[in-house]
Structure formats: C-alpha cells, structure tokens
Structure 1
C-alpha cells in the first residue's frame, strides 16, 4: 500500500527562496498563499472562499507549524488569526506620507 504524501513548505537557511516544498507523510496544520505570503487556519473562511472560486489552488502551500510559516517569510491572516496579525502588524514600519 502506498503512503499518502503531503506537500509541505519548509524554511531554508539561505538562498534565493526562503522555503522549499518537501513531501511529508504528516499533513500540514496551517495553509498559506504564496503570492500573498500569508498563512492561516485550514478552516479560514476567506481562504475557503478563494479555493471555491478556483483561483487559490496553484498558490496554496501548507505548513506544520506557525514557526515554519514565519521562517518562510509569511505573515498571519487578518481574518482567521486576528491576534497574531495584530502582533505582526505592530512590528511593521508605518508608511510615511
């Protein structure tokens, strides 16, 4: 019997890209979007809406941990992870006018 493998994003220490995709028997616990560089819960209503529209799948990535998502350069979703997003936003430089 063949074991199911999942595509999981893992951080890499150096290089052009901040992450690589590996095959792992353990499914991810968080989902992300490569083009938006954001991550969130697998049941995020915003992500589910984009998946249902068919525009999200080719940019979808998965992570085992929040630490992996952050190390890969992704930010938290404002909708499904509002506390983590607020903490992240507070660390970002403000735009000057």
Structure 2
C-alpha cells in the first residue's frame, strides 16, 4: 500500500509535502486563495491557463501568512475584512 502525498505551500511561501490534501486553493500569479469549489477558479481551470500557477494551502492562516489574499467570489466576508485593512489599490 502506498501513501499518497500532496504538495502544499507553507506560511513562508515554500512548498512542502503533506499526507493530507489542502483545504484551500490559490493562484500564485495573483496571490489569491479561495475554496476548492470556487466558481471563478473552476472557470479559470476549465479555460486551461490557470493550472500551472495553482497552489494549495492547509488552512486560511497559512495562506494569509504566505502573503495571499482572500477571493472576492468565494470568500466575500474574508475579502471585505481584508479590503478594510489594506484599503483601495493605489
């Protein structure tokens, strides 16, 4: 019996191997994280170009520590909190 392993990003932004799959997905180029069933991410994956830049996180705290922001589509409450702290783009 072989044990499956997954590659996740840690709080330092570096990949590591895990026996458990990630609970959140992210887009490396946009530094955005969200749910694995996010409609926006699923559309991007279906279009094809997103896959090479997809990353996974164990939890929300790790994604935030790695410098990623919440997705406005699938995590609107977390996005609003993030936006209130960071302010509008300059």
- The TM-score, its normalising length taken from structure 1, stands at 0.88
Cα offset, 1:21, TM superposition: 0.5
Following TM superposition, the consecutive aligned residue runs of length 4 or more in structure 1 with deviations greater than 6 angstroms are none
Do structure 1's residue 75 and structure 2's residue 82 form an aligned pair? no
RMSD (CA atoms): 1.1
Do structure 1's residue 9 and structure 2's residue 9 form an aligned pair? yes
What secondary structure does 2:29 align onto?
A: coil
Greater per-residue helix proportion: 2
Gaps of 5+ in 1: 13-18
Cα offset, 1:22, TM superposition: 0.6
Gaps of 5+ in 2: none
Aligned residues: 90
Query: Which of 1 and 2 has greater Rg?
Result: 1
